[in-house]
Amino acid sequence: MTRRSVTATTDRDRQWWKEAVVYQVYPRSFYDSDGDGVGDLPGVTAKVEYLDDLGVDVVWLCPVYESPNADNGYDISDYRAIMDEFGTMADWETLLDALHEREMRLLMDLVVNHTSDEHEWFQRSRRREDGYEDYYYWRDGSPDEPPNNWGSFMGGSAWTYDEVREQWYLHLFDEKQPDLNWRNADVRDEIASLVEWWLEKGIDGFRIDASNYISKPEGLPDGASGRSPTGVEQFSHGPRVHEYLRELYERTFSNYDVMTVAEMNDTSVELAREYLGESGDGLDMIVHFEHMGVDAGPGGRWDPEGWGEWSLPAFKEIMSRWQRDLGDGWNAPYLGNHDQPRIVSRFGDDGEYRTESAKLLATFLLTSRGTPFVYQGEEIGMTNAEFDGLADLDDPQTVGAIEDLLAAGTVDSYAEVREFVNYVSRDHARTPMQWDDTENAGFTDGDPWFAVNDDYTEVNVADAIADEDSIWHYYRRLIDRRHDADVLVYGDYDLLCPDDEQLYAYTRTLDDEAVLVVLNWSADPAAFEPEDIDVSASSVLISNYDDASARGVRRDYRPYEAVVVEL
C-alpha cells in the first residue's frame, strides 16, 4: 500500500494534511476490548492495523476525556483525563504510539464552546468562588423567565436556572453543557493551556467543536423568530469569534506542525474564507453543513414535515460552490459523521443498490478537492437502524427535538415521528461497528451499550474483507488511487451538466493531468454525452462496475454507476 510521506514539505501549498484521508472513530461504538459493552481505547488500538490496511492516514478520535456522558463525551468534566469507560492515559499513549509507528496521525476533538456542568470550573463558578464567577454566562432573572429567547440545539430553552447560584446559565446545547465565557481572559488562558498540553503530548491536530458559537454579542439580544434554534443569528459568528480563534492559533497551533479542522454549522463559503489560512485566523479547514440541509423540511433538520426529498442539482450547486470558491482555503469533504444518519441510507440506496451506491458515495468523497473524512462503518456500507420508540434512542438531540414537537402539540405520539426519526436521527451513526456476523457483530462480548443494527449478519467487516468486490476493498483501492494522484488532491474542480437530475460529473485538472468523474446518482440509467471533452485517450482509473473500461465514456450509465477516468 502506498501512503504519501507524512513530513511537511517546504512548498507552502503542499501539506501532509491536504494529502491525508481522515477516518473518524466514535470510540464508544467502535470496538470493546474488555467486555463491558462500551467501545474503548484499547479497542481502537486493536484496530489500528485494520485502519492501516484500509489506507487512511489520520484518525479523528471523538472525545475521550472524562465526561458524565450527557452528550457522549461532548460534555467534558476534565480536559486532561481519560474517561474511565474508555481506559487510562497509558491506553491513550499506547494508541498514539501505535498510530505513529504506522505513520498515521491522531486528530483529537477540542470541545471548548462549553464544558460539562460537572467540570470543576462550573462547580466553582456556581458557588461564586473567587476568580471563577465569570467563567460562564450567568444572568439574573425570575426562575420563570429565561433572560432571552434563545433556544438550545438540544431542544427547549438555552437557559437553565441554577438553584445554587440563583441565576440562569446559558447552554447552547444540553443543560449539562454550560457555555464557557470566552470574554473572560482567564477562560482563554485555560483553553490555550489545555490545547498546549495535548499538543505537547504529540497529537497531530484538533477538530474544533462548535467553533463559530464561541463569541456571544453584548447584551445577549433576543433572536428573531423563524430560525432554528431561536437566536442562532445572534450567537453564530459572533463579534469576537475571529479574535478568539486567531489568538488561540497564535498561542498554540501556529507553533506545531498540526492540522486544525473547525466545525461550523451555519456557515457560507464567504464566511469560511475569513477563518482559513494565514490571511484568516490560521485554521486549515472548515466542516460546513450546507449539504446537510438539502433533505430537511422548511423548518430545518427537526421539521417533521417535508423531510427526505432532495434534488441532485441543488446538492451539486452547494458542493461545487465549496469546491470552487474557497480561495486559498481548504475543504474537509464529508457525507456523514456521528451527528448524521448513515450515508448510504440518506444519499444512496440501502436496499437493492446498497453496494453500488455506497461505492458511488465513496467515489464522490475520495475524488473531491479537500481532505476527505470517512466515518466509521461507511467503508462497509452500514445503514440506518430502526428505532421503535423513545426508549430505543440515546441521542439527547433527537430526544429533545421529539419532546419539543410533543410539547408544542405538533405531534401527539412517537408513532407519528417514527419514520422521520428512522431517517434523521444522530443515533443511526452511533450503533456499534459491525465487525463480523457473530453475536453483537463482534463489537463486544458483553451487553452492547447501544443496540447493534439487525443487518450485521450481512453487513460486516469480516465478510467485506473476504470479498474482493466489496465496498471495503473499493474504499481501499480508491484511497490508494488518491495517494498516487496529485490531481485528485490538488487539482481544480469543474462541474459538468449542472442541471442533470441523475448525473454528477466533474473534472479535476492539475497542469497536464486531468481526471473525469462520472456518477449516475440514481437507480435508473442515465446518458452522459459530453460534447466538449476529449475522451479519445481516456483510461479507467476505477469504477464500481467491473466492465466499465470496455464501454467507453459517452454512453448510458447504469444504476449508481461511478467511473473515474484519466483523460
Which CB sits closer to ligand NOJ, 55 or 156?
A: 156
How far is residue 30's CA from residue 39's CA, in Å, rounded to a whole number?
5
Residue least distant from ligand NOJ (Cβ): 74
In angstroms, what CA-CA distances link 521 with 140, 248, 302, 365, 412?
54, 41, 26, 13, 37
Q: Work out the number of other CB atoms within 10 angstroms of the CB of residue 408.
A: 8
Pairing relation of β-strands 105-110 and 205-208? parallel
CB of 429 to ligand NOJ, least distance (A): 10
Which CB sits closer to ligand NOJ, 212 or 355?
A: 212
Q: Work out the number of other CB atoms within 10 angstroms of the CB of residue 470.
A: 20
Q: Is 209 a catalytic residue?
A: yes
How far is residue 118's CA from residue 105's CA, in Å, rounded to a whole number?
31
CB of 114 to ligand NOJ, least distance (A): 7
Catalytic residue among 263, 427, 500, 561: 263
Which CB sits closer to ligand NOJ, 107 or 519?
A: 107
Which CB sits closer to ligand NOJ, 209 or 561?
A: 209
Q: Work out the number of other CB atoms within 10 angstroms of the CB of residue 509.
A: 15
Which CB sits closer to ligand NOJ, 28 or 481?
A: 28
Which CB sits closer to ligand NOJ, 283 or 564?
A: 283
Each as own residue / partner, the long-range contacts of residues 526-534 (CB below 8 Å, 24 or more positions apart, any chain) are 526/500, 526/502, 526/556, 526/557, 527/555, 527/556, 527/557, 528/497, 528/503, 528/553, 528/554, 528/555, 528/556, 528/557, 529/554, 530/496, 530/497, 530/505, 530/554, 533/496, 533/507, 533/567, 534/567
CB of 112 to ligand NOJ, least distance (A): 10
CB of 441 to ligand NOJ, least distance (A): 23
Write the DSSP symbol of residue 300: B
How far is residue 243's CA from residue 203's CA, in Å, rounded to a whole number?
24
CB of 209 to ligand NOJ, least distance (A): 5
CB of 468 to ligand NOJ, least distance (A): 35
How far is residue 512's CA from residue 500's CA, in Å, rounded to a whole number?
28
Strands of the 373-375 sheet, one edge to the other: 330-331, 285-287, 259-263, 205-208, 105-110, 58-61, 22-25, 373-375
Which CB sits closer to ligand NOJ, 55 or 372?
A: 372
Q: Is 511 a catalytic residue?
A: no
Range 70-88 burial, b when 16+ CB lie within 10 A, else e: bbbbbbbbbbeebbebbbe
Closest listed residue to residue 148, CA positions, set 70, 216, 242: 216
Q: Is 300 left (phi over 0), alpha (psi -120 to 50) or beta?
A: left
CB of 199 to ligand NOJ, least distance (A): 21
**Do the Cβ atoms of 182 and 215 come closer than 8 Å?**
yes
Q: Work out the number of other CB atoms within 10 angstroms of the CB of residue 66.
A: 21
Catalytic residue among 52, 175, 209, 356: 209
| Residues found near ligand NOJ in the complex (CB under 6 A) | 71, 74, 111, 173, 209-210, 263, 338-339
Which CB sits closer to ligand NOJ, 337 or 345?
A: 337
CB of 210 to ligand NOJ, least distance (A): 5
How far is residue 395's CA from residue 399's CA, in Å, rounded to a whole number?
6
Cite the active site residues.
209, 263
